[in-house]
Amino acid sequence: MEKIGLLIDTTTLTREDLKQYDFIKVAQLNVSIEGKTYQESELSYDEMMKHLSDGKKMLTSQPSPGDFLKLYDSFFQEGYSHVFVITLSENISGTYQSAVIAKTMVENPIEIIVKSPKVASFGVALGVAILAKEISKGISFSELEAKYNIVFSNAHVMFTLSNLMHLFRGGRLNRISALLGTVLRIKPIVEMVDGRLQLTRKERTNIACYNIFMDVIDQYSKKYQTVYLDIVQLNRVEWGEKIKQAVETKYPNISINMSSSVSPVFLVHLGDQGFGVALLGF
């Protein structure tokens, strides 16, 4: 009989409901703060807020193949016959590659599949929550892979930020554009395009960003029979609630989740203020 384990990385832990499953293990990404390295789970939200406000120099790094190998071995020791691995997009992190390399190093008879959808953070978590429910119901390993392909076939993430300087520090925007945008209070819209974070639009107001998000939600509701929506609100609760209320009023068939945080790695690159959406449609 198959016993399936699910392996994700710490950037996906944006939902409390994922913590209820004992078949989920987590690979840790790392944050280096002024030269000292921490695993993501070692940094609290309040600590990250202080480091961000203090302007500390911070870098991020992926788990090593050795980290993944230890997790694969622990699954086997606990009686798992199969492991399904889902990392954030391989186009923005080496996490996926570490998982693949570790798979080639496994010496025990456990079957492993490694996947990397073209989204990240709460966008991955939205699909993982669906797949975790399927595992808990007894889905087979082959059926799980097929379900993964369906769930993430039309995944999308888009959000706006209040501070462009974090995009500059993360190498996503040049310094002059970041400074001008900050002075002019430009509201950037960042989307995941082909698995990469791309600055796709620059708006002048939050309401303009809100309208763009609602247009995309409307398109999903018309195009797909099943739609899952995760609304992220990083210290912008009023805008997250505005999206939620509008969706509940106009699209009662859309399944909604609310996220109020992202992992330390994404706080480093994106900052602590913004709002946006992740969507799945099939």
Q: How confident is the model at residue 132 (pLDDT cuts 50, 70, 90)?
A: very high
SS3 sequence of 134-155: HHHCCCCHHHHHHHHHHHCCCC
d(CA 1, CA 12): 28
| pLDDT at residue 15 greater than cutoff 90 | yes
Q: What is the mean pLDDT of residues 236-259?
A: 96
Q: Which tens digit of pLDDT belongs to each residue from 147-200?
A: 999 999 999 999 998 766 555 565 555 554 555 455 456 788 989 999 998 888
Match domain 156-281 to its CATH number in 3.40.50.1000, 3.30.1180.10, 3.30.420.10, 1.10.10.10. Answer: 3.30.1180.10
In single-letter form, the type of residue at position 176 comes to I
- Three-class SS of 26-51: EECCEEEECCEEEEHHHCCHHHHHHH
Q: Given 3.40.50.1000, 3.30.365.10, 1.10.3720.10, 3.40.50.10170, which CATH number is that of 4-151?
A: 3.40.50.10170
Q: Tens digit of pLDDT for each residue in 80-93?
A: 999 999 999 999 99
How far is residue 66's CA from residue 101's CA, in Å, rounded to a whole number? 9
**CA separation for the pair 20, 128 (Å, rounded):** 13
Joined tokens for residue 234: 């990083």
Quote the tokens at residue 157.
């993430």
pLDDT of the residue at 137: 97
**pTM of the predicted structure, to 2 decimals:** 0.93
Q: How confident is the model at residue 53 (pLDDT cuts 50, 70, 90)?
A: confident
pLDDT for 270 equals 83
Q: Are 241 and 249 in contact (CB under 8 A)?
A: no
Instruction: Please return the burial class of 215, using the count of CB atoms within 10 Å of its CB with bins 0-12, 13-18 and 19+.
Output: exposed
What beta strand segments (E) does the chain contain? 4-9, 24-27, 30-33, 36-39, 58-61, 82-86, 111-115, 156-161, 187-193, 196-203, 227-234, 255-259, 274-281
- Mean pLDDT for 37-59 is 91
H/E element, 195: none
Mean pLDDT of 128-132: 98
Decide: 87 and 95 in contact? Cβ < 8 Å.
yes
| Mean pLDDT (the chain, rounded) | 92
Least confident of 121-130, 171-180, 182-191, 235-244: 171-180
> Where are the domains positioned within the chain?
4-151, 156-281
Is 243's pLDDT higher than 80? yes
Give the pLDDT confidence score for residue 163 in this predicted structure: 66
Task: Please tell me the predicted confidence (pLDDT) of residue 176.
Answer: 45
